[in-house]
Structure 1
Amino acid sequence: MNLKKKKIKFGFGTYGIGEKKSRNFCSEKSRIYFLNKVYEEGVFFFDTAEDYHKGFSEYLLGKAFKKNDEVVIATKISPINYKKNILQSINESLRRLNRDRIDIIQLHWPNYNVDDLKIIESLYEAFSMKKIKYVGLCNVTKKYLDRFLKLSMGKLKIKIIQNEYNLFERSVEEKLLNFCKKKKINFLAYSPFGSSKQVNKIFSSVHIKEISEVFRLKPSQVILQWLSYNGAIPIFQTSNLSNLKENIMFDSRIISTDFFEKINKEFEVKVVKVLPIEIQIVESFSGKFYTNIEQAKKNIYNFSPSPMEVAMEIKENDILKPIKLKKTRSGYSLYEGQLRYWGWVLAYGNNSPIEAIIE
């Protein structure tokens, strides 16, 4: 497919469909069947990654769309593989995807242990060998994108930027979103509805209810149209065909701009600065977490990117987005952004305030 002529309006994320212990899909066959139904409903852009369930999401796409040139697939290289052979990583994705060329190869996260020039050279080699068409970057700041574009000197065709963007995470609006518009780069928004808890806030919103009634749209359609109005391409996931059809038809009735301004005001995100020393971590995470700076330095759980890599990123290109806190009697507890928190502490210490959103 010629992406210069075909406009991407929305995309389907494949993290969920690759979960092997999924409640929604009992077999490989049922997953492949669903992917084909997604395509039949009008979705042609699919987003995936080599580390989504150890390549299983890529494998499913390869099975579903082996001979379908109308399907556009954007996959991602894990930052841990920038240190190794990027070409090998691309070849393995090609094998799983059953393709001769990847439409868009994305760098999943920046990795400051690897020289970006070497990454660019490897990607250009893959482009010259016709293994990839376009390049994308994920989870980046405006400063990083600007530097990457200058380093690549037009060798690579940067097609997309993909960051989290929703009513509750709007840090991209300040710089990155407008920069992408200026450079004519597609901006993709993952997690368009926020977390499962945040979805309830959307459905209880007075203004979103009002808009839904006036324009006869579902709340999810209102949100997707709000993202599109702001210049973003939403990447959504679902295992329900009815929800899929609703999402695809999000702009069946165009909402007037004054209603979007009401949403912007209601969901205005207030960013404050908090000293890291006032933030507790132990009670915030049920999974793996670091309780002290030595654990973060050593990266004992092998997070990728590591806290040290995030610290380098923060010093070089600013913090990606604010951490999220909850107010407690003794200060604050961290419930989102552990790596950004430790990256900040490693970069600037405990007495330099970090940007945060308090919920």
Structure 2
Amino acid sequence: MEYRYLGNSELKVSAITFGAWAAGGWMWGSTDRNEAIQAIQASLDLGVSSIDTAPVYGQGTSEEIVAEAIAGHSRDKIQILTKFGMRWDVNQGELVGPSKDNSGKDITLYRLASKESIIYECEQSLKRLKTDYIDLYQIHWPDTTTPIEESFEAVAQLVKDGKIRYAGVCNYTAGQLVEAERVCPIISNQIPFSMVNRDNDLENIPFCQANNIGVLAYSPMERGLLTGKIKNGQQFAEGDHRATYKYFKPESIERTNAFLKKIKPIADEHGITLSQLVLRWTIDHPGITIALAGARNAEQAISNAHASDVKLSTEQIEQINRLIQSEL
């Protein structure tokens, strides 16, 4: 496994980091708790030392699963990355809209990053994660109802109190990141990035590169689309958000699968899966520090971890990049 420092910090994380959104079940058509735990433990066994989660993933379920999975491991060998700023238990902040929890109960989501809310959320996450500190604490989404200065004054206080080691952001623009940095050192930005979704290559990734800020690429496999296993007519479980997600429209699936067919010979040459090729390409991309890779079971987790072992030549990367530009 490769390990990399986030930005200019001393926080060293695994290049393939376990993404625990799907493990929480929410928006993924539920979860099998035991399989999720086994997936995380299989990752740990192969050197995946970093786990990214959030309170909203299953309304606490994902963080609880992470705690159970890492029990018995040396805490200082594992990096817990979690978030704040998405509430389902209050009617405050920026309205996101209706959703359902894992039991099918109606909930309403808000983006809330007030000082009081952040302090409260941190305490709740520490309890669910059964730890006394969080390695990287990230705002989940910008909250337009709270000044950025107020949010990161609270985060800076948590750092001072020893509750968190480092602060990060998610889904922030370069301008928002600069504003947050005026109040609290920011070591990373977690943003969507994949072969089919490269919008952040225009500004955010170059900005982070220039300012020595780590980039955590989420959805690098575009929620399963880039595995090559998604076909037109795919039936998703009830509550699985991918059923209406834009990249899962028939024309997008066809175009993506045609592209994957063209890069498959490179995967075959290395004796690896398309998923492993996609993850390796992602962590080789300029400006990307780590790729967040979700897994529903141990088999998927093992496959993801081994993507770090792959060595792509410069010519192969350039070939993939040319095909991305022409096909996607």
Indicate the residue corresponding to 2:246 in structure 1: none
Distance 2:35 2:225 in 1: 28
Single out whichever of 236-245 and 192-201 deviates more from structure 2.
Answer: 192-201
SS in 1 for 2:309: coil
SS in 2 for 1:205: helix
Indicate the residue corresponding to 1:32 in structure 2: 37
1:33-68 superposed Cα distances (whole Å, 9 cap, x missing partner): 443232122211000001111111111212232453
- Following superposition, the deviation at residue 195 of structure 1 comes to 4.0
SS in 1 for 2:12: coil
Indicate the residue corresponding to 1:81 in structure 2: 112
Give the conservation status (yes or no) of the 8 Å contact 1:66–1:97. Answer: no
Matches within 5 A, 1:184-223: 184-197=212-225, 199-200=227-228, 201-202=256-257, 205-223=260-278
Query: Would the alpha carbon gap of residues 111 and 121 (structure 1) be closer, same or farther in structure 2, given more than 3 Å must change?
Result: same
Give the conservation status (yes or no) of the 8 Å contact 1:170–1:269. Answer: no
In the superposition, the TM-score normalised over structure 1's length comes to 0.67
In the superposition, the TM-score normalised over structure 2's length comes to 0.73
Query: Would the alpha carbon gap of residues 38 and 254 (structure 1) be closer, same or farther in structure 2, given more than 3 Å must change?
Result: closer
Indicate the residue corresponding to 1:178 in structure 2: 206
Root-mean-square deviation (CA, aligned residues, Å) is 2.6
Query: Would the alpha carbon gap of residues 65 and 197 (structure 1) be closer, same or farther in structure 2, given more than 3 Å must change?
Result: closer
Larger radius of gyration: 1
- Following superposition, the deviation at residue 216 of structure 1 comes to 2.6
Tell me the amino acid that sits aligned with residue 222 of structure 1. L
1:308-344 superposed Cα distances (whole Å, 9 cap, x missing partner): xxxxxxxxxxxxxxxxxxxxxxxxxxxxxxxxxxxxx
- Following superposition, the deviation at residue 269 of structure 1 comes to 8.2
Q: Which has the higher contact order (CA 8 A, sep 6+)?
A: 2
Give the conservation status (yes or no) of the 8 Å contact 1:202–1:219. Answer: no
Give the conservation status (yes or no) of the 8 Å contact 1:203–1:209. Answer: no
Matches within 5 A, 1:49-128: 49-66=54-71, 68-69=74-75, 70-79=77-86, 80-83=111-114, 84-128=116-160
Query: Would the alpha carbon gap of residues 7 and 46 (structure 1) be closer, same or farther in structure 2, given more than 3 Å must change?
Result: closer
- Following superposition, the deviation at residue 5 of structure 1 comes to 6.5
- Following superposition, the deviation at residue 252 of structure 1 comes to 2.6
Distance 1:240 1:24 in 2: 10
1:8 aligns with 2:11: no
- Following superposition, the deviation at residue 146 of structure 1 comes to 2.5
Indicate the residue corresponding to 1:254 in structure 2: 311
Query: Would the alpha carbon gap of residues 196 and 217 (structure 1) be closer, same or farther in structure 2, given more than 3 Å must change?
Result: closer
Distance 2:50 2:71 in 1: 15
- What residue ranges of structure 1 are gaps of 5+ in the alignment? 271-358
Aligned residues: 264
Give the conservation status (yes or no) of the 8 Å contact 2:19–2:292. Answer: yes
Indicate the residue corresponding to 1:306 in structure 2: none
Distance 1:50 1:8 in 2: 22
Distance 1:198 1:177 in 2: 21
Distance 2:61 2:292 in 1: 19
Distance 1:197 1:34 in 2: 20
Distance 1:24 1:203 in 2: 31
- What residue ranges of structure 2 are gaps of 5+ in the alignment? 87-110, 229-255
Query: Would the alpha carbon gap of residues 38 and 214 (structure 1) be closer, same or farther in structure 2, given more than 3 Å must change?
Result: closer
